[in-house]
Structure formats: C-alpha cells, structure tokens
Structure 1
C-alpha cells in the first residue's frame, strides 16, 4: 500500500504473505512477530487521530499519565490534567498514554479493520471458526511510557505504526501469573490489570516492535508494554472466537460454583469442546440461579 491512500483496493494486503504464514504457524496459542503495510496511512497520523478522538464518546476513550509501575492498581492511575485532544496533539512532551476504543464504529476506520482482518480470516476460520465481535483500538503513548501488566479477552494483533516499543508477552493459562479466581473475576467484569511480581519477568518473551512490525497476542496472554524514546502509535485489531467465548463462559461458571461453595471445574486448552458445562452454565444464567 502506498502512503496516504485509503484502503479501497480489495487486492491490497495489510499483511503480506510472510506475515500470514507466521500467523498461521502460531495461531491461536502462541505469540508471533508479524509485518504489515499500514505505516504512513492517512487515518493513522497524530492529527487524524486527535480529530477522531474529539468526536468519539467519552466512554470510548481512556487516557492518563504514562510512566506507571508495572503493577499499578486501577484506582491509583493518575490523570494528566489535559483534554483528550490536547493529550494527543502534545503527546511528544506530556508524558501520557491514550487509547481510542472501538474506532471501527467510524466508517473509515471500520473499513481499515475489515481489510486487515480479511487477510487473516481464512486462517482463523480453519483454526477457531468465524471471527466474532471484531474491534479496533488505537494506542498513543509518549516517550518512555509503560502500559502495566495486564491481559485482554480477545484474539489480538498489535500493529506498530509510529515509534518503537517493547511488548513482553507471557504464556496464557499459567495460573502462577493469573490465578483461577482472577480469571473468574475478570470474566465477571473485573479489571484487566494483574498483580505484578519481579520474579515473573523471566517467564516472558520480549518482542521489540518498530514501524511496520506487529505481534500476535493470544487470548489472555499476560503482557506489558514499554515505549521507546519517541511518540508511539499502535493499532490493535481484535476478534473473539467460539474458543474465547467458551473460555469466558467456563470461568464464569466456575465463579458461580465457587460462590456457592461447590467444586469448580478445569478449563481446558480447548474450552469450545466442553459443551456440557457450557450448557449448564447457560441454563443457570437464564434461570438466574
């Protein structure tokens, strides 16, 4: 894709053949470094993103000071004292972090998401079924900012557009990192941030990212991000699958059982196959048990 051109040509690929091959080898359970062709796109400049942010609802934006401890509690996250537009336009010097959520609700950014995921859809469908609940998020970070240790419920690919960062990714389903009760709380609406211990770092793999590079992050693989010496813009394209939905249902089922003092069950590496437990959970939820 040439810089400054909107995605209108169905033959234009966001992810070249080498990236699609690397993704196919890793998906859904392993992180993988990929490459992409969105650097320089008109929709992903600071000015374009500031304009987008100013017309988005407050519920779809989050921003705060960026130099945070890896294990900061959500309630301790400090404000930067600026408006969102000011935060983005002066992000080079204001020491902040911002995320624009669900940018796919804007038609132009929705087309950007659809084009990116179209490259990967056949691979995803073969492994975990249809792509469900597709979303896009844009992260803007000042030099030296840190995104604390956390996890996300979606299949995720983070595309680096401007600047550099290092994402350190940890294995999913490691209960030393994410205890079972934390997963249960998370799927019940609990915060994404996780408790950090210094001994965890050796369990992770660091992935340096430069413009034109990307990383596949498996569902609920814990990670943290350290920004480089320049402003960073990253685009996150995400989706759910029957597997990720099933995992959420099974952890929610365990939360119901634990609340009633009943034995909880194991959530397997293939939760979509645990049909009976999922059915029982859906019946209990429907009945309000």
Structure 2
C-alpha cells in the first residue's frame, strides 16, 4: 500500500514550492513510528540527537532544553513526553528510517521533481509532544513536510518575508544556526492556520516562519526536510552578504530577487575556501 494518498498529490502540486500544501498519508499504521519503536530508535541514536525541551514556552527564550538524568527513551516507551517536548533528530542515520523517508520522498517525487531540482541533504525528525505543547515562532532554512502520526496539532504558517522574517534574521541563521523569531501579538490573526489530525500532512515552503500548538492528547509527528540547488545557492549567497557590505556592494535579498543567485553562490563558495567568508 502507498504511504501517501495519491488523491492528495494534485493539491500539493498546485501549492509547491511557494505555498503550504496539505497531503493525506497512511503512516499511522507504520510500526517504526509507534512509541516502542521510537524508544528503540532513541537508544540507537547518538545522545546529542535526542533532546527534551519545555512544552509550554510562550516565546523563543523560554523554549529551553531540559536536562534529564534518565535516558529519554524511557519516557518515550512510557507513552510520550509527559510534560515536555522530545525530538529525535537526524533519524535517517538509522537504516530502517532512512528507507522509510526515501520511500515517502519517492512517492511525492512526481510533484516536487516537476517544480524544482532533485532533493538533497535529506533529514528526518520525530517530535513527541505532551498535550498542549507550544513550539514557538521560528523558521527552518529548508523545505519540509510534517506528517501527523498521533494526536493533533495546529500549525500556523507565514510568508518568508518581512515583517515575519527579515534579511538580518536570515543572515544571522547562517552564522549562528539560531532560527527562533520575535513574536508580535498582531501576528496571531495573520497566519495560515492548519489543523493536522492523524493522517494529515503539511508541506512548508523554504524558510516559511511558523508556530505549532499540540492538542489535548500526546502527539507524534514526523518531519522530513530537504534542500535543492536553489536553496543551497540562497544559503551561500546570504553568507556572502557581510563581505559585500564591507566592500560597498549591494547585499542579496531573496525576497527582492527570488531567482536562484548562482553567481553570488559560486563567489561565496570560493570565498569560503580561501577564508574570506
């Protein structure tokens, strides 16, 4: 049986790669994504790739990592995070999960392959969330699809442009890896909200800011992320901006110039090799 409901692919095709697009899937029956299997995965992953954070953060500064004396696999095996948010990152390191992710991407390849270059830099993340978990406003410099496996969530997506995401924050991410964004109360009514129940999935465009709020039951979600040639070129071009400003040249802004910045990206890679960037 297909993992993706093929009748939902045309909608994704209409929205990809610039707008959030919904899908239906059959991953809820996948044994690898149950609590017992995820506990086994947590034990197999490097400890740094199994992280617990507070579940009721109201802003970025409060979304702190929680220390845990016991291995977080024990909490997962017991049925979830209790009063926290657990992330298993880079699960594609484990062969069974790598195969699952590749199968998922293979089923949507007719859609995403027609609108952009082949996917690369594939990563997988599993989020195990306590009831009511709030993931603060942030962005990810990649394309992603969030598959809801158990429980439900509301995800509010925003355009990757000011006032939600400005050039300074984009550049800072490529220096520091910090992706949390300032939240303003008037943003609340301006996001495109999606209720994701078991069997739902949502594609998010590259760098689209968003926040997530889990429902009243423990939640399991799988996020599959990737890059393409254009997104890698954007990242390289943004990394070059500080040097361009120092020599009096205009910086690259992906909102003002949405086409792939091939020449700037090539110059950035050369600068990185010789230590200028």
Give the secondary structure class of the aligned counterpart of 2:13: helix
Whether the 8 Å contact between 2:5 and 2:23 is mirrored in structure 1 is no
Structure 1 residues 110 and 180, CA gap change in structure 2 (3 angstroms) = same
Equivalent of 1:120, from 101, 108, 114?
108
Equivalent of 1:138, from 126, 131, 135?
126
What's the CA shift for 1:177?
1.1
Map of 2:4 onto structure 1: 15
What's the CA shift for 1:263?
3.4
Map of 1:87 onto structure 2: 75
Whether the 8 Å contact between 1:91 and 1:141 is mirrored in structure 2 is no
What's the CA shift for 1:90?
4.0
Name structure 1 gaps, 5 residues minimum: 1-11
Q: 2: distance between equivalents of 1:50 and 1:135?
A: 19
Map of 2:223 onto structure 1: 236
Equivalent of 1:58, from 47, 50, 56?
47
What's the CA shift for 1:123?
2.0
1:25-63 per-position Cα deviation (integer Å, ceiling 9, x unaligned): 111010012111111211111111011101210222221
1:87-117 per-position Cα deviation (integer Å, ceiling 9, x unaligned): 3234557211011111111111111101100
What's the CA shift for 1:211?
0.4
Give the secondary structure class of the aligned counterpart of 1:202: coil
Report which stretch shifted further, 156-165 or 14-23. Answer: 14-23
Map of 1:8 onto structure 2: none
What's the CA shift for 1:261?
6.0
RMSD across aligned positions (CA): 1.9
Q: How many residues align?
A: 274
Equivalent of 2:28, from 16, 31, 39?
39
Map of 1:149 onto structure 2: 137
What's the CA shift for 1:149?
0.8
TM-score (normalised: structure 2): 0.92
Whether the 8 Å contact between 1:149 and 1:194 is mirrored in structure 2 is yes
1:71-220 alignment runs, 5 A limit: 71-73=59-61, 77-79=64-66, 81=68, 83-90=71-78, 92=80, 94-172=82-160, 174-220=161-207
Q: 2: distance between equivalents of 1:78 and 1:43?
A: 25
Q: 1: distance between equivalents of 2:38 and 2:206?
A: 27
Q: 2: distance between equivalents of 1:80 and 1:40?
A: 32
Q: 2: distance between equivalents of 1:78 and 1:127?
A: 37
What's the CA shift for 1:72?
2.2
Equivalent of 2:57, from 68, 74, 78?
68
1:265-284 alignment runs, 5 A limit: 265-267=252-254, 268=256, 270-272=258-260, 274-284=261-271
Q: 1: distance between equivalents of 2:34 and 2:218?
A: 11
Structure 1 residues 59 and 38, CA gap change in structure 2 (3 angstroms) = same
Whether the 8 Å contact between 1:87 and 1:96 is mirrored in structure 2 is no
